[in-house]
């Protein structure tokens, strides 16, 4: 065999600018998708609940916003990535848990941020909903199956 095998580094050099731009924009686009999803959630809840309840209840939106933001952040980030979609979902899951853990730590210690003391509203249920949303986003990214653990067929 006379041909030279190309390393992964050499093969990655030949990919076009669209490939590298997609990798560059995974984090900001996933964050933007999560923010847009919360706007959509607000619109759906507002248009639905104001038909039945006169003062708009803020609690459903406060509870569902962290869930939707986390789920869409991880799911959209894994879809934007050109390769290694499940690994990207795992990295975004880790980043979200790191951020969530930092805020939980700051809330438990009563730290001050820009002159305001941080504390848990609604008994800390928002943190739990954000964690549940992160797990849901990881599940929706296609790498985890409820029956057999990690789904090797869809992991790409």
The residue written with tokens 């941020």 in the block is: 113
Q: The whole model's pTM is what?
A: 0.79
Q: How far apart are CA 137 and CA 72, in angstroms?
A: 6
* Tokens linked to 138: 């990881």
CA atoms within 13 A on the CB side of 105: 6
Instruction: Provide the residue ranges of all domains of the chain, joining segments of one domain with +.
Output: 20-144
pLDDT digit string (tens) for 24-44?
888 999 999 999 999 999 999
Tell which residue, 44, 72, 40, 68, has the closest CA to residue 130. Answer: 68
| 155 against 144, higher pLDDT | 144
List residues bridging with 39 in a β-sheet. none
Alpha-helix residue ranges (DSSP H) falling in 8-119: 8-13, 17-24, 26-49, 59-80, 85-109
Using CA atoms, how far apart are residues 18 and 153, in angstroms rounded to an integer? 26
Distance CA 141, CA 49 (A): 30
Count CB-CB contacts under 10 A for residue 152: 11
Predicted pLDDT at 1: 46
Q: What is the pLDDT of residue 143?
A: 61
pLDDT in tens, 42-95: 999 999 988 888 888 888 898 999 999 999 999 999 998 888 888 899 999 999
User: Looking at residue 122, what DSSP letter applies?
Assistant: G
């Amino acid at each position: 065999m006379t041909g030279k095998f190309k390393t992964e580094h050499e093969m990655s050099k030949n990919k076009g600018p669209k490939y590298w731009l997609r990798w560059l924009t995974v984090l900001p686009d996933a964050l933007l998708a999560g923010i847009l999803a919360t706007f959509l959630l607000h619109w759906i809840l507002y248009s639905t609940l104001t038909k039945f309840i006169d003062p708009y209840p803020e609690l459903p939106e406060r509870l569902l916003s962290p869930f939707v933001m986390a789920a869409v952040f991880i799911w959209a980030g894994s879809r934007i990535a050109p390769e290694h979609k499940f690994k990207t979902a795992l990295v975004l899951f880790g980043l979200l848990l790191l951020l969530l853990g930092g805020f939980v730590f700051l809330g438990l210690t009563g730290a001050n941020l820009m002159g305001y003391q941080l504390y848990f509203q609604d008994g800390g249920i928002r943190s739990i909903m954000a964690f549940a949303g992160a797990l849901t986003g990881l599940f929706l990214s296609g790498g985890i199956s409820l029956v057999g653990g990690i789904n090797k067929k869809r992991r790409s």
